[in-house]
Structure 1
Amino acid sequence: MQCSSYDAGRCLSCAWMGRPYAHQLAAKQSLCAELLAAHDLTWLDPVASPESGFRNKAKMVVGGTVDDPTLGILDAAGAGVDLQDCGLYPASLAATFPVLAAFVTRARLEPYDVPARRGELKHLLVTQSPDGELMVRFVLRSQEAVARLRKHLPWLRAQLPRLVVASVNLQPEHKAVLEGPREILLTDDETLRMRVNGLDLHLRPQSFFQTNTDVAAALYRQAATWVDDAAPASVWDLYCGVGGFALHVADGTRDVVGVETSGEAVASATLTARDAGLARTTFHADDATAFALRAAPRDVPDLVVVNPPRRGIGADLAGWLDRSGVGRVVYSSCNAQSLARDLAAMPSLRPVRGRVLDMFPQTTHYEVVTLLERA
């Protein structure tokens, strides 16, 4: 893949841009295997991604002016760099960007000027479902523009007939934080349906979902295969998000519990479980480590799935897993360095299989999923 913005030095986010894709995939497999070399893993073939057009979500910094907004990133001086032609987005998602830029002008949404600390609109967050439906979130500094957004929303819906969910996120602080805690819905619909492997995962505005739908589907299938092979009677999915792993391993005969700090994500997962008729699958808004440490011995499951953020599960949860008696762990990680550290803290659980999944082509990042068995 070639990118004119990368070649011109306007955007260097994709550090491996221009490398042959086969070389990228082989390098990620090699780097991961090296980081986990202390363990005798059987590696499955890596999962490739389309080289371009794979992102289901755009996180666009809004710069420029009301009459000439930019959607993309900021340069070192805080000026907007327009990346509406970024090749990471499918054409159907990229087609929304000119409409949204026109909407910024129509609704008089003043882009936030970082150096001057003035303006209202900080980011546009756009998510597209596999069916082509859209969620658009406007990250604003205050509620000043909300009335104008509501006034002009019918125009936006006419231009984007696949728009299902629209909302305002309030982020009043001047710091490098993408969004704030408060969300104001502008539409009657609250969730975007992300159809993955035949499951309709409900995505609310503040819920996390993997940015590469095809590779996420492969990740869930791999985890479900390992879980089904083990045939556990009970499973926990810690850091469950909208329930991707929990819902894929639920078969109606085993007890599945998902734990996630985000109440929005838990509400989304609960709705999917209800729609799928999975009465023995439940979700709790809680801290994963605290939930595990409070568990009585009789409640310890046969198998645990963990999918933590980049920092990993940490010493406390790793220590609990090591001494808990859990027979197997499926560990999905977006950071093999923290994964290696966590594995070293669980000597009673031996990694036996692993697979690299290229969630983020053109970058150094990837997902790796491992199966651990009690030694």
Structure 2
Amino acid sequence: MFIVKKGDSYTAKIVDLTHDGMGVAKIDGYPLFLSNALVGEEVRLKVIKVGKNYGIARVEERISDSPERVALKDKLGFQTGTMPLQHLSYEGQLRFKQKQVKEAFKRIGHLDVEVELTLGAKRQEGYRNKAQIPLQNKKGQIETGIYRARSHDLIPMTDYYIQYKEIDQNILKVRDILREAGLEAYDERTHRGYLRHLVVRYSQRCQQLMLIFVTRTSSSEPLLQLLDRLTKECPHLVSVVQNIQSEKTNKILGQKTKVLWGKDYYEEDLMGLSFHISPLSFFQVNTEQAERLYQEAIDFSQVTAEDTVFDLYCGLGSMTLPFAKKAKKVYGIEVVKEAIEQAKLNAQLNGIDNVHFEAGKCEDLLPVWVEEKDLRPDLIVVDPPRKGLDPVVRESILKVQAKRIVYVSCHPGSLARDVADLVAGGYKVEKVQPVDMFPQTSHVESVVLMSRVAPTK
């Protein structure tokens, strides 16, 4: 048997792309994964890592180029993993994401469904409204940037390409203020140092900026001394927040948050509604595409003024409230209590009173709503985390026997698994629409419409 070894060089053709956008070459059947390589390209490669099932290689020379190849925006986008598809034309990216969804349905769900071409974004750069930036000490001063892929080696950056330019500019302003103040970044090896991360949230529509400093200790004094400069030098600043993460962990945010200056929220406009967003609240990071995603969900649902709707995993109400403008009544469930309180406030802010929010796990509350309160929705909307629906939630959804289900997903694999279970329980897939929320990356969101075909008991 032919054995591929680290350091070997080969000439090979790229035959496929992995789900995260790496090129695939095969040497005697053994797969090698490479960044910055497209299907059909012939490359000279060098093996840099060998595993049991696959290896990692580096492109030493491209012998031929794919017609889908475009000029790189920034090589650092490969090193950090922030832009793994930047070398692929945008039309090619949309087809790639369509294929990911289609293959997940076939491979995981064992369903042969038609998948629409991915809905593209008007902005393929500068679209993110949030950044989570690690801080490290480099050459005697604090540095901002992004970790090298699969490491905690910080690569300093000044242009992140996929974030709002206002966010990039404020990262540099804050970095300079921290440097001049002589503050020390956290060192994960020694568990010493003060500043761990800088989180920046910004609304271009409302022109409001929130800065969140993640610190190792609960002391606020070092940050309080910076407030005068921050408020003078960071345009549109409305909130300065401290989050304490004292654990030895890779998790960015801790449980405790303190507002040091300004409001405990910033404002965003979405779907003709106003939202207050607190420091730790989940909100789609691409505001423009979130509107397209939610509009697709509303259009798919064919919701009317006679419909009762369940919105599972509702967050702060960013999809619940647009549905409430069309429906008779909407019930929302969310596990994060603070998000439910925010959802209630957002409903009041927009004068929407045909909503009911409850805090708790969907797998706990949904059976109660169905079996004890006898609530029977016409439509169920789900927007779960990457892991998808809990088995208890899937069972409860099937017991409800709603006429229609709209599933909004951020992970094709869990989507395909859940949809297959719902199909087995009496539903039919009507339409699958991928939406590109993250241009230049391999991530894809999807909206799926399902209708009940088994007779309602």
Query: C-alpha root-mean-square deviation of aligned residues, in Å?
Result: 2.1
Q: Which has the higher helix share?
A: 1
Structure 1 residue 77: Cα displacement: 6.9
* CA contact 2:408–2:447 (8 Å) conserved in 1: yes
Residue equivalent to 2:401: 325
SS of 1:101 mapped into structure 2: helix
Residue 314 of structure 1, aligned match among 390, 395, 408: 390
Q: Which amino acid aligns with 1:14?
A: M
Q: Which amino acid aligns with 1:331?
A: Y
1:73 aligns with 2:151: no
- Measure the CA separation in 2 of the matches of 1:179 and 1:264: 15
Structure 1 residue 35: Cα displacement: 2.0
Residue equivalent to 1:299: 375
Residue equivalent to 2:124: 51
Structure 1 segment 1-375 matched on structure 2, within 5 A: 2-6=72-76, 10-37=79-106, 38-39=110-111, 41=113, 43-49=115-121, 50-64=123-137, 68-75=141-148, 78-131=152-205, 132-144=207-219, 146-229=220-303, 233-251=307-325, 254-297=328-371, 298-346=374-422, 347=424, 348-375=426-453
Distance change >3 Å, CA 24–CA 286, structure 1 → 2: same
* CA contact 1:239–1:260 (8 Å) conserved in 2: yes
Structure 1 residue 217: Cα displacement: 0.9
SS of 1:295 mapped into structure 2: helix
Q: Which amino acid aligns with 1:142?
A: T
- Larger RCO (CA within 8 A; separation ≥ 6): 1
* CA contact 1:195–1:201 (8 Å) conserved in 2: yes
Moved more, 72-81 or 211-220: 72-81
Structure 1 residue 40: Cα displacement: 6.0
* CA contact 1:3–1:86 (8 Å) conserved in 2: no
- Measure the CA separation in 2 of the matches of 1:368 and 1:27: 14
* CA contact 1:245–1:305 (8 Å) conserved in 2: no
Q: Which amino acid aligns with 2:351?
A: G
- Measure the CA separation in 1 of the matches of 2:245 and 2:75: 29
Moved more, 357-366 or 39-48: 39-48
- Measure the CA separation in 2 of the matches of 1:130 and 1:44: 30
- Measure the CA separation in 2 of the matches of 1:77 and 1:57: 22
Q: Which amino acid aligns with 1:35?
A: A
Moved more, 173-182 or 243-252: 243-252
* CA contact 1:169–1:179 (8 Å) conserved in 2: yes
Structure 1 residue 66: Cα displacement: 9.6
SS of 1:15 mapped into structure 2: coil
- Measure the CA separation in 2 of the matches of 1:351 and 1:141: 48
Structure 1 residue 228: Cα displacement: 3.9
Query: How many residue pairs are counted as aligned between the two chains?
Result: 373
TM-score, length of structure 2 as denominator length: 0.77
- Measure the CA separation in 2 of the matches of 1:14 and 1:89: 12
Residue equivalent to 2:35: none
Moved more, 134-143 or 112-121: 112-121
Indicate the percent of aligned positions where both proteins have the same amino acid.
Answer: 29
SS of 1:352 mapped into structure 2: strand
- Measure the CA separation in 2 of the matches of 1:154 and 1:252: 46
SS of 2:257 mapped into structure 1: strand
**Residue deviations 1:173-231, cap 9 Å, x none?**
11110101111111231111111121112110110011111111101111122334465
Structure 1 residue 300: Cα displacement: 2.7
Q: Which amino acid aligns with 1:118?
A: R
- Measure the CA separation in 1 of the matches of 2:344 and 2:141: 42
Distance change >3 Å, CA 168–CA 236, structure 1 → 2: same
Structure 2 stretches of 5 or more lacking a match? 1-70
SS of 2:242 mapped into structure 1: strand
* CA contact 1:240–1:259 (8 Å) conserved in 2: yes
TM-score, length of structure 1 as denominator length: 0.93
* CA contact 1:99–1:159 (8 Å) conserved in 2: yes
Structure 1 stretches of 5 or more lacking a match? none
Q: Which amino acid aligns with 2:218?
A: Q
